[in-house]
Amino acid sequence: MKRLPVRALALALWLLTLLVGLWEIVIVRDMLFRVYARIVGTTSAHDAKYWGAVSLGNWAVLFLGILWLGLAIGTGEYHYRRAGQRSSWRLFGWTIGGELLILLLALII
């Protein structure tokens, strides 16, 4: 019974990091659009450059979605087996730190 609050907190943090990770897929796609527009130039909907940017964004979403799914399954299993242990909290720290880094990078780009 002692471990129930710790497991509930671990589950809540895991779900929070998954939701932030989903949101960051959109953020990374927008960052790629901005970088593409700066390198290639401004685009209009009738230009081939525009469709190149759309294609790049679609591939990014596919790749990031697969990466997110792997992260969700891998970290879920890891936290399920090690909830409340130091290694589980360390993984949360690294995950949240990486997500914050992506959010900060979005402010710069």
pLDDT digits (tens, 9 = 90+) for 13-49: 999 999 999 999 999 999 998 888 888 876 566 677 8
Q: Is 84 exposed, middle or buried (0-12, 13-18, 19+ CB in 10 A)?
A: middle
Q: How far is CA 89 from CA 7, 44, 100, in A?
A: 12, 47, 16
Q: Which two tokens stand for residue 12?
A: 């809540």
The reported pLDDT for the residue numbered 51 is 83
- Identify the sign of the CA torsion 59, 61, 66, 68: positive
The reported pLDDT for the residue numbered 64 is 96
The reported pLDDT for the residue numbered 42 is 65
* Phi, psi torsion values for 3, nearest 5 degrees: -85, -10
Statement: residue 1 has pLDDT above 60: no
**pTM listed for this prediction:** 0.82
What is the CB neighbour count within 10 angstroms for residue 101? 10
Question: Cα–Cα distance between 39 and 24 in angstroms, integer?
Answer: 22
